[in-house]
Amino acid sequence: MVQNQRISIDGKPTYRLGGWKTSLGIRLLLFILLGLVFYAALANRVIPQTYDIQPGAASDKTILATKQIENAIGTQKAKEEAARRVQPVYSILSMKNESLVDAIFQKLRQINADNELSTADKVNVFRSVFPTIYSDHAQQLYNAIRISDPGNDGLLNEVKTALADQQYRIPEEVYFRFPRLTKEDLDAMEPVAKDIVGRMMNDQLPNAQPARTKVAELVNSSSLTKNTSREIVQELARFVITPNKFPNQKATDEARAAARDGTKPVYINKGDVLVHKGDVVTEDMYKQLKTMDLLKEKVNYWPQVGLALMCALFVLGLYMFVRQSEQPIRTHNLQLLMLVLIYVLNVMGMKIVGLGQMMDYANIGYLAPVAMGTMLIAILVGMPLAFASSMLFAVLASIIYNVKGDALFDFRYGLLALVVCMTSVFAIQRANQRSSILKAGIMVSLAGAVTIVSLTFLDNVYTRNEILLSFGFTVASGLLTTVLVIGLMPFFEISFGILSPLKLVELSNPNHPLLRKLLTETPGTYHHSVMVGNLSEAAAESVGANGLLCRVGSYYHDIGKTKRPSYFIENQIGMGNPHDQIEPDLSKSIIIAHARDGVEMLKEHNIPKPIRDIAEQHHGTTLLKFFYFKAKKLQEEGAEPIPEEEYRYPGPKAQSKEAAIIGIADGVEAAVRSLRSPSIEQIDTMVRKIIKERLDDGQFNECDLTLKELDTIAKTLNEALLGIFHSRIEYPADAPAKGEGKEATQA
């Protein structure tokens, strides 16, 4: 890379690598580097690792699931287990055995009333009629089942088998007692028999025998008085009582099928172990690995392409945001390099914390100091970029800490990261001392804790220990963020020459050795510097420049005057002006030297470069008019004209808005101070005159101040000066002051 020569303030040439800080190629390389950082950070979460493994071989490593898929084997086992837990289904049938009682008593009346039949004939008829009545009643039941539940042959066969196997056989001696029953006996017996049968058949009877054993007790407690009637009713009731609860295989199969269908699929979740190290890979394991594209024989490049496109979108969005920024990072590659480094450190911190999730600490992601990056960006670069980075860090966190589920993002970590990052930006935006970072960290902890509690309650699946653990991690995250930001701030400030607001506030402390030296040895210059700081800060803020930098830079801009304080008009209190006794050329050298001396003193005390630049550039290449014209006046007749360049400051001209504004405020303060009783018109005329002279002299050619901004600066300086000199202002009717400019030229 080419070297550019530059003449320093002491006249010696210096060399520096030229162009890289604004090189478009370097800029593109930095953005590409940032994209690679994103890709590397997300690759292990998005792109599945593939393995060279075969069925029957032992795995040399533990293989985890990369996405959520259904476990077919596990699902089938769960279905079979659900079906196994289903109890057999029984059908409770309405047997209508009361009608069987009616039919039996009807036959008893009919046969006993037939006087042509002998007792022996009646007994024979009863032996054949009772089974027939039972069979007819059963056949009616079978027909009802065929109609109500067609195709359920299983139930029908169960009923047939049960009725056949459990049919009660009336003792032989009872048949000989049937013919002796009178009509009155039958009329008394029938309601008792019906009542007993009805009461027994109201129960669920898979087996009729237990119910039949209870009949004797019920008969004995009935209204029947004859022993014969009781014995016969007891036998008839036992004969009529049948089972009414039958196994229904068809309904059982349907219930088990419903249980299988209602079983939720068993999933292999992302992060679950598919194969443990040392396990022999079975065919089922091999199929699962193949389904998840974890085998090298089936390489899938689409995830790589998708991740590359996503990272490109991240970088493109950041590039467009930086391009539209009004901060120096828009064109300054050094600041862009710092931004990339902040991203790298933040992502590294997130990844390091993410390692804890592999050790079964799922909630450890809440400990990640995600807000560290946004806080550093807010302090060192600017608020707008910090807000944009907050959204990007939230997306990264939702991917990096997503360890379960089939989704690419875990919204819990994304939401938490967004909340803490945004909170850190709002909390740090007015930071003016190191303790402000601690306060911002506490705000981050509180905001994160509230978010975690909210998410935990919404999830509705939590334990007290889980809440306390998540809460503790989140609070610790805010404190860890504070420690890291405070620790990294000096590194960035020194390495990249960044003057953060916190550093500027520290440098503005009156106890700083240089400011104490300025106050004790040159009180006039100290007062002048404070006044310039007030004026330049107001002017800078009116045009969007760094007001705090202007104030602090003003405090140090004339520090070189402490080398020879008596040669500057503001320090000549109660003493003569030594310039009256020396040649103008020597006076010029002494006056010009204060800029060079100031830069050297600032270097010795490790004052950051932006402030050194202000001390070096605030006079630019302006002409020391007083001594130039004094030299011309003393010049002998006929001598060669004195070149103006010999009485100009060596520069360089102001390279920034802040340096130019301080130069204007420096000249304006000295000029207005030289007026005995300044009026409003005199102040306005003096301010605009100084700005115009510097503009015509080309002092603003190397900074980006516009004419509109110069007009705004003039108005702001007028307002500030009116506030400072209000007690000494003469109104238009008063006489103008005399002797303007002499002291100003010597400052």
430 and 575 housed in the same domain:
no
Distance of CA 715 to the CA centre of its chain: 46
162 and 207 housed in the same domain:
yes
Region 42-52 average pLDDT: 77
For residue 294, being part of any structural domain is answered with: no
Domain boundary among 466, 497, 528: 497
Instruction: Return the pLDDT at 639.
Output: 65
For residue 262, being part of any structural domain is answered with: no
Under DSSP, the state recorded for 564 is S
For residue 575, being part of any structural domain is answered with: yes
703 and 606 housed in the same domain:
yes
Q: Tell the residue number behind the tokens 């001594």, with chain if given.
A: 627
DSSP one-letter string for 398-440: HHHT--SSSSS--HHHHHHHHHHHHHHHHHHTT--SHHHHHHH
pLDDT at residue 54 above 50?
A: yes
Instruction: Return the pLDDT at 631.
Output: 85
In whole angstroms, what is the distance from residue 66 CA to residue 78 CA? 23
480 and 512 housed in the same domain:
no
Can you name the residues that pair with 91 across neighbouring β-strands? Answer: 246
Domain boundary among 178, 213, 247: 247
Distances (CA, A) of 136 to 141, 167, 169, 216, 317: 9, 13, 16, 27, 89
CB 46 within 8 A of CB 303: yes
Distances (CA, A) of 58 to 62, 271, 288, 297, 625: 11, 20, 16, 18, 91
CB 71 within 8 A of CB 267: yes
For residue 62, being part of any structural domain is answered with: no
Q: What are the phi and psi torsion angles at 417 (to 5°)?
A: -60, -40
Structure tokens at 726: 């209000």
Region 671-688 average pLDDT: 85
Number of domains in the chain: 3
Instruction: Return the pLDDT at 740.
Output: 37
pLDDT at residue 10 above 50?
A: no
pLDDT at residue 609 above 60?
A: yes
Half-sphere exposure of 235 (CA within 13 A, CB side): 17
For residue 258, being part of any structural domain is answered with: no
CATH of the domain at 431: 1.10.1760.20
Region 639-644 average pLDDT: 79
CA angle 44, 47, 53 (to 5 degrees): 95
Q: Between 713 and 331, where is the model more confident?
A: 713
CB 280 within 8 A of CB 57: yes
Domain boundary among 497, 517, 542: 497
Instruction: Return the pLDDT at 336.
Output: 92
List the domain range (segments joined by +) for residue 231.
90-247
DSSP one-letter string for 168-226: ----HHHHHHGGG--HHHHHHHHHHHHHHHHHHHTS--SSSHHHHHTHHHHHHTSS---
End-to-end CA distance of the chain: 41
Under DSSP, the state recorded for 563 is G
Instruction: Return the pLDDT at 15.
Output: 40
Can you name the residues that pair with 58 across neighbouring β-strands? Answer: 280
CB 564 within 8 A of CB 571: no
108 and 36 housed in the same domain:
no
Instruction: Return the pLDDT at 707.
Output: 93
Instruction: Return the pLDDT at 674.
Output: 80
CB 377 within 8 A of CB 386: yes
Q: What share of the chain is helix, strand, coil (3-state, %, to 5)?
A: 65, 5, 30
pTM of whole model > 0.75? no
Contacts of 477 (CB under 8 A, 6+ apart): 366, 367, 368, 369, 370, 371, 420, 444, 445, 448
242 and 372 housed in the same domain:
no
For residue 223, being part of any structural domain is answered with: yes
In whole angstroms, what is the distance from residue 612 CA to residue 472 CA? 46
CATH of the domain at 591: 1.10.3210
Structure tokens at 359: 């050790």
In whole angstroms, what is the distance from residue 411 CA to residue 55 CA? 38
pLDDT at residue 334 above 60?
A: yes
Instruction: Return the pLDDT at 704.
Output: 86
Structure tokens at 18: 């030229």
Q: Would you call 483 exposed, middle or buried from its count of C-beta atoms within 10 A (0-12, 13-18, 19+)?
A: middle
For residue 482, being part of any structural domain is answered with: yes
220 and 313 housed in the same domain:
no
Q: Tell the residue number behind the tokens 């950070």, with chain if given.
A: 41
Which stretch of 35-39, 154-158, 591-595, 677-681 has the lowest confidence by average pLDDT?
677-681
Please count the other Cβ atoms lying within 10 Å of the Cβ belonging to residue 57.
11
Instruction: Return the pLDDT at 699.
Output: 93
Instruction: Return the pLDDT at 728.
Output: 47
Instruction: Return the pLDDT at 11.
Output: 40
Half-sphere exposure of 580 (CA within 13 A, CB side): 7
483 and 576 housed in the same domain:
no
Instruction: Return the pLDDT at 638.
Output: 53
Region 367-395 average pLDDT: 92
Instruction: Return the pLDDT at 695.
Output: 93
For residue 663, being part of any structural domain is answered with: yes
DSSP one-letter string for 446-512: HHHHHHHHHHHHHH----HHHHHHHHHHHHHHHHHHHHHHHHHHHHHHHHTT---HHHHHHHT-TTS
471 and 452 housed in the same domain:
yes
In whole angstroms, what is the distance from residue 727 CA to residue 247 CA? 112
Region 86-102 average pLDDT: 89
User: pLDDT tens digit string along 116-125?
Assistant: 888 888 889 9
User: pLDDT tens digit string along 206-234?
Assistant: 999 999 999 999 998 888 888 888 999 99
Burial 264-277 (b: 16+ CB within 10 A, else e): eeebbebbeebbee
User: pLDDT tens digit string along 541-556?
Assistant: 999 888 989 999 999 9
Instruction: Return the pLDDT at 337.
Output: 93
Instruction: Return the pLDDT at 382.
Output: 85
536 and 672 housed in the same domain:
yes
pLDDT at residue 8 above 50?
A: no
Instruction: Return the pLDDT at 746.
Output: 42
Sign for the CA dihedral angle at 633, 637, 639, 641 comes to positive
CA angle 217, 218, 219 (to 5 degrees): 90
478 and 593 housed in the same domain:
no
517 and 474 housed in the same domain:
no
Region 596-613 average pLDDT: 91
pLDDT at residue 484 above 90?
A: yes
Q: What percent of the chain has pLDDT over 90?
A: 36
CA angle 213, 218, 224 (to 5 degrees): 130
Burial 516-547 (b: 16+ CB within 10 A, else e): eebbeebebbbbbbbbbbbbbbbbbebbebbb
